[in-house]
């Protein structure tokens, strides 16, 4: 929900921490925890992870994250605005695919 672009060291740390938790507890435990969360929370988790890391080794988690709703978070709006302010168009958001 940050009103600024989610990038840099903070975003990298969040991604590394989520990846570390997933690797430590495994696909079954992580995916079961995800299913206890609201769909919007699963969307936020997906927004902070790299599909390439999840898809390779964690198929259950990947499927759940693919099914999470696509929310245009305020951080994404800020990211797109920053590109517009430079007179450019932001790259398309990557949509996770099953």
Could you please report the per-residue DSSP string of the chain?
Answer: --SS---HHHHHHHHHHHHHHHHHHHHHHHHHHHHTS-HHHHHHHHHTS-HHHHHHH-HHHHHHHHHS-----HHHHHHHHHHHHTT--PPPPPPP--
Per-domain residue ranges for the chain? 8-85
> Model pTM?
0.86
1-58 tens-digit pLDDT: 555 566 667 778 888 999 999 999 999 999 999 999 999 999 999 998 999 999 999 9
């Amino acid at each position: 929900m940050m009103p600024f672009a989610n990038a840099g060291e903070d975003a990298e740390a969040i991604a590394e921490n989520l990846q570390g938790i997933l690797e430590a507890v495994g696909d079954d435990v992580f995916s079961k925890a995800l299913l206890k969360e609201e769909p919007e929370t699963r969307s936020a988790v997906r927004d902070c992870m790299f599909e390439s890391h999840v898809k390779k080794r964690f198929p259950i988690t990947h499927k759940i994250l693919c099914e999470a709703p696509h929310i245009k978070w305020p951080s994404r709006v800020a990211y797109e605005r920053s590109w517009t302010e430079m007179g450019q168009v932001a790259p398309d958001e990557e949509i996770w695919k099953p």
